[in-house]
Amino acid sequence: MASMKTYYDDMLTNPDIIRTAQDEEMLEKREHVNDPAQHSPKPKVVVTSGVHDLLDCPVCLNAMYPPIHQCSNGHTLCSSCKPRVQNRCPTCRHELGNIRCLALEQVAATLELPCRYLSFGCVGIYPYYDKLKHESQCKFRPYNCPYAGSECTVMGDIPFLVNHLKDEHKVDMHSGSTFNHRYVKSNPTEVENATWMLTVFSCFGQYFCLHFEAFQLGGAPVYIAFLRYMGDDVEAKNYSYTLEVGGTGRKTIWQGVPRSIRDSHKKVRDSYDGLIIQRNMALFFSGGDRKELKLRVTGRIWKDQ
């Protein structure tokens, strides 16, 4: 036996030894035995489109998570949609009952899927039951359009949204970290949650949205100005800004941290995270007979060290 081992060791190291077909077969078997890849645990299955379709609810078309329900004929639907179909299978109209599709739940646990934001740059592969949590926090997930003057449903990455704001919403674009804007309204009593102005600033290689609008606060009309960062919240915290408004020798100053556009315009406004000016104060700053709003808002953005 020892001589046989020596013979095949020589065959591996000495190219001059003539190998027969039987020798080649034994060498191939020996190499497979010594190959650690042959003994590694089986990887999880990367899902195909056919399996993925089985995991989509036929009612809401979203991915299904436990408990997954089925009718007596094996048709499935998610737990959120079951109450909506009045206990009738949406496929065959048979009564649903309380049958769980444990087999499909177990199949799902063995699958891995790419992130839904693959086209935006995320190349990760995630277990089926972890994928939803990842996607809710994925840094590549697209942003909602930050324009507040209409219910715009456009989504995309930052370069796309910058062009969208400029081309579709005709937003003013400025370069630099300081600003000086004048807001004029002939009838300041008309508030009704009016959105007046959005301006985009480019500085430090980033983009910022300056909002200025009027809304009702406790039955009284007020004006608010605030800054949003076109990026994620963790990056927004690297910047600070000031806003200043005044007139007739008086002024009000606000200093804060820009909010990410991940937070909706309404969420930021309703948290009062910005420079808030009561209407009477705004008219006082406007001067004259106080029948026309003429506010000048100045400010600057800087990057914290």
DSSP 119: G
Helices and strands (H, E) in the chain, number of each type = 9, 18
57 & 157 share domain = no
Q: Looking at residue 290, what is its pLDDT? A: 65
**Within-domain flag for 1:** no
Q: Assess contact for 83 and 90: CB atoms under 8 A.
A: no
189 confidence band (pLDDT: 50, 70, 90): low
155 & 281 share domain = yes
Percent of the chain having pLDDT more than 70? 78
CATH assignment at residue 50: 3.30.40.10
298 & 203 share domain = yes
Q: Looking at residue 183, what is its pLDDT? A: 78
238 & 183 share domain = yes
Across the chain, mean pLDDT equals 81
**Within-domain flag for 233:** yes
| pLDDT of residue 75 exceeding 60 | yes
Give CA separation, 120 vs 49, 124, 158, 183, in Å. Answer: 20, 12, 11, 37
For 190-194, what is the mean pLDDT? 55
| pLDDT of residue 20 exceeding 70 | no
Q: Looking at residue 26, what is its pLDDT? A: 39
**Within-domain flag for 38:** no
What is the residue range of 88's domain?
45-137
* Secondary structure class of 206 (helix, strand, coil): strand
What count of other Cβ atoms lies within 10 Å of the Cβ of residue 224?
Answer: 21
237 & 291 share domain = yes
| pLDDT of residue 200 exceeding 90 | yes
Q: Looking at residue 191, what is its pLDDT? A: 54
102 & 248 share domain = no
**Within-domain flag for 280:** yes
Q: Looking at residue 151, what is its pLDDT? A: 75
Of 50-59, 107-116, 132-141, 244-253, which range is least confident?
50-59
120 & 181 share domain = no
User: Which position has the token pair 């209407």?
Assistant: 279
Distance CA 118, CA 141 (A): 9
Q: Which of 64-68, 185-189, 245-249, 256-260 has the highest mean pLDDT?
A: 256-260
* Domain finish residue from 109, 137, 165: 137
196 & 51 share domain = no
77 & 183 share domain = no
| pLDDT of residue 210 exceeding 90 | yes
Percent of the chain having pLDDT more than 90? 47
User: Which pLDDT tens digit goes with each residue over 274-295?
Assistant: 999 888 888 888 776 767 778 8
Residue type, 64: M
Q: Assess contact for 126 and 115: CB atoms under 8 A.
A: yes
**Within-domain flag for 19:** no
Q: Looking at residue 53, what is its pLDDT? A: 78
121 & 162 share domain = no
Strand partners, 221: 216
| pLDDT of residue 193 exceeding 60 | no
Q: Which of 49-58, 156-165, 194-203, 263-272 has the highest mean pLDDT?
A: 156-165
Q: Assess contact for 176 and 145: CB atoms under 8 A.
A: no
* Domain finish residue from 102, 137, 172: 137
Q: Looking at residue 23, what is its pLDDT? A: 44
**Within-domain flag for 50:** yes
**Within-domain flag for 70:** yes
Q: Looking at residue 173, what is its pLDDT? A: 94
Q: Looking at residue 192, what is its pLDDT? A: 55
For 213-223, what is the mean pLDDT? 81
* Domain finish residue from 111, 137, 163: 137
Helix, strand, coil percent values for the chain (each to nearest 5): 30, 30, 40
230 & 101 share domain = no
| pLDDT of residue 109 exceeding 50 | yes
CATH assignment at residue 201: 2.60.210.10
More confident residue, 249 or 178: 178
158 & 290 share domain = yes
**Within-domain flag for 158:** yes
Distance CA 304, CA 239 (A): 5
Report the number of distinct structural domains present in the chain: 2
